[in-house]
Amino acid sequence: MLEINYLEIVKMLLDKLISQEEQIKVGAKRMANSILQGGIIHAFGSGHSALIAKEISGRAGGLVPVNVIPEPSDGMAERVEGYGATLLNWYAQRYRLNPGEVVIVVSTSGRNPLPIEIALGAKERGLYTIAITSLPYSKRVSSRHSSGKRLFEVVDLVLDTGVPPGDAVVNIPKIGEKAGPVSTIIGGLLANMLILCTIEEIVNQGVIPPILMSQNLDEADQHNRILKEKYRDRLSW
């Protein structure tokens, strides 16, 4: 029965995302305008949050001009202040961070220096910053960054996953602990809702959006090759 409880809680959290339609539209308009002007979208996450960033980059059915800011430590250095600034400097030199582009920063707790520094550094360079984070979680914990601020306090737009503190949602009888994390499921859906809304915005402006086709479709290779060529010096995939 634990899996059924898990499913019910996930459904409840998913239903709450509808209330953020306006925020999603605001972010999507920024993303669409950037792409229409030749820019790309940058996505970042550390540890398991990196899965959500990767979900929207190089993804069949997603937009081509989306690049992941890599995080080599896989979360081990997310508490180290200064690491995020160094990482972003390297990325900017390799792939460029142009004013007016958009950075999506994913962090469920939003408390560690790494995602906060990525957002701050992007804003300093004139980029628009979007956080995919959990307000119920983040507001319950203190910041580990010297500024005393959490991710939701430093970005331009917040998309709230609503994930509870600790991420796990299912009470395990007899042991008094919880299991069943939900941040990847909710965050991934929220990120794809943002991408779909961006696609809609581009279409509404009379332009064919650069959508990546699955490489397992016979006609995909030529389609994808043409689109990727336009952004080849700015994509890592």
Q: Is 15 within a domain? A: no
Q: Is 141 within a domain? A: yes
Domain count of the chain? 1
Q: Is 54 within a domain? A: yes
237: CB partners within 8 A, 6+ apart: 57, 58, 67, 68
Is the model's pTM score more than 0.75?
yes
Beta bridge partner(s), residue 171: 178
Reference 102, options 20, 21, 198; nearest CA is 198
Kindly state the helix (H) or strand (E) to which residue 23 belongs, with its residue range.
helix 21-36
Q: Alpha-carbon distance 152 to 124, whole Å?
A: 16
Q: Is 235 within a domain? A: no
Q: Is 108 within a domain? A: yes
Q: Is 213 within a domain? A: yes
Q: What's the pLDDT at 138?
A: 98
Q: What's the pLDDT at 228?
A: 95
Q: Is 174 within a domain? A: yes
Q: Which two tokens stand for residue 154?
A: 């430093």
In three-state secondary structure terms, 55 is helix
Q: Is 236 within a domain? A: no
SS3 percent helix, strand, coil of the chain, rounded to 5, is 45, 15, 40
CATH of the domain at 195: 3.40.50.10490
Q: Which residues span the domain enclosing 204?
A: 2-7+20-230
List the beta strands (DSSP E) in the chain: 41-45, 66-68, 102-106, 128-133, 157-160, 168-172, 177-181
pLDDT in tens, the chain (237 residues): 899 999 999 999 999 999 999 999 999 999 999 999 999 999 999 999 999 999 999 999 999 999 999 999 999 999 999 999 999 999 999 999 999 999 999 999 999 999 999 999 999 999 999 999 999 999 999 999 999 999 999 999 999 999 999 999 999 998 989 999 999 999 999 999 999 999 999 999 999 999 999 999 999 999 999 999 999 999 999
Q: What's the pLDDT at 127?
A: 98
